[in-house]
Structure 1
Amino acid sequence: MDRLSSVLSAFRPKATSVSNCLFLEFTSHLSLSSDSSYWLYMIEGELILNPKGSTKTDLTRGDGVWLASGLNLEVLLPKPSSHNKKKVEAKLFICEFDFGSKALNPLLDLAWQCVKVEQGDEISQALAPLNALLLSESLHPRCGSQVVVERLAEAYLVQLLRLFMQTKKIQFGLLAGLSNAKLARAIVAIHEHPNQAWQVASLAEQAGMSRSAFSGLFKITMGMTPMAYLASWRMRIAAQRIKQGDKSLAIISDELGYQSEAAFRRTFKKIMGVAPGAINRQT
C-alpha cells in the first residue's frame, strides 16, 4: 500500500458540502466545524481570514487554502481606495470534508493547520484541470451534478494531499512524516501491520536509519515518539471497529497485538480518554 492510501483506506474522506459564499460586508464571520476539513478557493475578489489567536491568511482570486480542521473565522474585505468607490465583494468556494471525528483521525491532530496554495504555483498548476471541472459542475449545475461534484471534490482533496506530500509543503504532523521517504516506510509499516510487536529498533530498520537518528527525526516531525504513534494508531483503529460493532473487544485487542483484553482496555482509556464502551458517546 502506498503512503497516502495507508491513511485514507482507514480514514476515507467524504465530501459533505460543496458551496460558495458571497461576502459583501467589510467584516463578516465564517463558522467552520472543528470536526471537518476544508478546501477554500477564491472565485472572485480578495479577503483576509483572521482566526483568533493565529496568523491571518490573505486570499486573492485563484488562491486556495486547506484547513486541516475548521474553526470560527473573522472574514475581512479590503477597504475601497479613495479614488475607487466601486462596491467591494468576494466570492469564496467552500468544500467541506468528513474524515471521521477529530478524536480518531490523525490528519486532524493539529488544532489549526492552514496550508495556502497561491495562484500559479506548482500545486495550483497541477490542480488546474480538476479545479476547472469542479467549479464548472458546482457553479453551473446539470443533471446529476450533486453526485458528480461530491466525487470530484473527494478526488480533488486526495490529489491536493498527494501534492502536499510531493512538494513537502507541510513541515509538521502526519503528512510531513509521510512526505519523508524514510519515515514513511516506518509509518506505513505501522498502518499496515498494527498487530506486529514493533519496537523502535525494528521501525528504525524499516526506515533504514539508526535507532537514535530515527527516534529524533520521528519526534521532531510527528510531534510524538514512534511508540506513542503506534499506540495512538492502534487505539484509533480499535475505536473505529468498536463503533462498527461487529467484533468483541477480545477479538479487537487480539487483532491489534495485545496479549490481554485488560491491557488493551487500559491503553485505550489512557489514549482515548474514555473506556471502550463509551467511545460512541465520546465521538
Structure 2
Amino acid sequence: MDALSKILESIKLSGVVYRKLEVTAPWGIELPKSRFLQFWKLLEGSCCLQVEENVGIQLARGDLVLIPNGSNHCISDKADSIRIPLKTYINFRDTESPYFLEGDLKTVMLGGHFEFDDQYQHPLITGLPGVIHLKEIRQQNQDWLELTTNQILLEIDQPKPGSDILVSRLSEGLFIHTLRAYLDQSKIKQGFLLALTDKRISAALQNLQDSPEKNWTLEELSKSAGMSRTLFFNTFKSLVGQTPLSYLQNWRMQKAKDLLLTSKDNVSIIANQVGYQSEAAFNRLFKHTFKETPASFRRSKNKQAISIN
C-alpha cells in the first residue's frame, strides 16, 4: 500500500455529504466552526465564500473549496448579502416558509465534510493551508472531480440500496482527487504533500509505516532513500515537519491504538509489535500521547462499545 493510502487508512478517513443546497438570490448562510474538514463545490449560480474575517472568495461554476481546519465561514450569493445561521436555515428548510427560494437567480452547491481520528494530529492534515480553492484545474483532475461529483449527485437524487455507503466512499475519493489537484495547481515549496511526491522521502515514509516494529536508524533510512544522512534528515524534517524518529514514534502510537481496539493481544505483545521491547517504556509513551495508559484506553473504548450496543 502506498504511503498516502496507508495514512488515510490509519487516520480513518470518512466522508459525509450534505443534502444538496438549492437557493435563489439574495441568500446567505453562516456556518459555525467545526472539527471536521469541510468542502463546498459550486454546481450552478454564484457564490462568495468568506472564511472568518478574511477577504471573500468569489467562486465560479465548477470551483471546489476545502476548509481543512473547519473554520467558521459564510456562503452567500454576494459578499454584502444578508446571512442567517445554518441552524435557522435548516429548521425552516422543509416548512411552508423556507428561506431563499423567492428569487430568480438559482444557486446549487454540493457540500460535506471529511472526518478523521482527531486524536492523531498527522502532518498531512495539520500541514494543509486554511483554505484550498481549486479553480482552472488541469483537465485530467477536472475530469475525475466531475465524474466523482456527478456520481455522488446521482446517488443523492436517485437513491438505491447501498447509496449511503457508496456516497461516503465516493466522497473519500473526492478528498484524494482534491489533494492531487491542489498539488498540480499550487506551487508548493514544502509541506507533507510535497513529501509524498518526493520519491526519496516517500520511500522512507513507506518503510516506517510498513515496518514500525523495526529498530530503524537514521543511517538505514537515509540509505533506503539514496541520500546522505545529513541531507535526508534535513529534507525529511523540512517537508514532514518532524524528524524521522519522531514521525516513527507517532506512527507507532497510532498503530498501537488500532491494535488495542482490534486485537485481543495483551499490552506487552502489542508493545513488541510496534517496536518496544520494554512494556514500561511503551506505557509511558502511550500515556504521554493519549493521556491514558494502554490498558485504561482499551477498557474505556470497550465500555463505550458495550453501551452503544
Report the RMSD for the aligned CA atoms in angstroms: 3.2
Q: d(CA) in 1 for partners of 2:283 and 2:290?
A: 10
1:265 match = 283
Q: CA deviation at 1:218?
A: 1.1
Q: How does 1:46-195 map to 2 (within 5 A)?
A: 46-52=46-52, 57-78=57-78, 90-99=107-116, 101-104=117-120, 106=122, 107-110=124-127, 113-122=130-139, 123-138=141-156, 140-144=157-161, 145-162=163-180, 164=182, 172-195=190-213
| Aligned 8 A contact 1:50 1:75 in 2 | yes
Q: d(CA) in 2 for partners of 1:247 and 1:166?
A: 44
Residue type of the alignment partner of 1:29: E
1:248 match = 266
Which deviations, in whole Å up to 9, do the C-alpha atoms of 1:253-273 show, x marking residues without a partner? 100111101111122233334
Residue type of the alignment partner of 1:60: A
Q: d(CA) in 1 for partners of 2:235 and 2:181?
A: 22
2:29 match = 28
Q: d(CA) in 2 for partners of 1:55 and 1:196?
A: 48
2:233 match = 215
| Aligned 8 A contact 1:80 1:88 in 2 | no
Do the aligned partners of residues 125 and 278 (structure 1) sit closer, same or farther apart at CA in structure 2, a change above 3 Å counting?
A: same
Residue type of the alignment partner of 2:249: A
- Please state whether the residue corresponding to 1:252 is helix, strand or coil: helix
Q: d(CA) in 2 for partners of 1:169 and 1:95?
A: 26
Q: Where do 5+ consecutive residues of structure 1 fail to align?
A: none
Residue type of the alignment partner of 1:14: S
- Please state whether the residue corresponding to 2:112 is helix, strand or coil: strand
Which deviations, in whole Å up to 9, do the C-alpha atoms of 1:1-34 show, x marking residues without a partner? 3232222343343233443234666553123631
Return the index of the structure with the highest Cα Rg: 2
| Aligned 8 A contact 1:39 1:66 in 2 | yes
- Please state whether the residue corresponding to 2:62 is helix, strand or coil: coil
| Aligned 8 A contact 1:166 1:179 in 2 | no
Residue type of the alignment partner of 1:71: S
Residue type of the alignment partner of 2:48: I
The TM-score, its normalising length taken from structure 1, stands at 0.81
Q: d(CA) in 2 for partners of 1:68 and 1:246?
A: 35
The TM-score, its normalising length taken from structure 2, stands at 0.75
Q: Which moved more, 1:119-128 or 1:215-224?
A: 119-128
Which deviations, in whole Å up to 9, do the C-alpha atoms of 1:16-68 show, x marking residues without a partner? 3443234666553123631x333321122333333336675442221012333
Give aligned pairs, total. Answer: 276
Residue type of the alignment partner of 2:211: H
- Please state whether the residue corresponding to 1:176 is helix, strand or coil: helix
Q: Where do 5+ consecutive residues of structure 2 fail to align?
A: 82-102, 305-309
Q: d(CA) in 1 for partners of 2:292 and 2:264?
A: 20
Do the aligned partners of residues 170 and 188 (structure 1) sit closer, same or farther apart at CA in structure 2, a change above 3 Å counting?
A: farther
- Please state whether the residue corresponding to 1:75 is helix, strand or coil: strand
| Aligned 8 A contact 2:137 2:181 in 1 | no
| Aligned 8 A contact 2:62 2:135 in 1 | yes
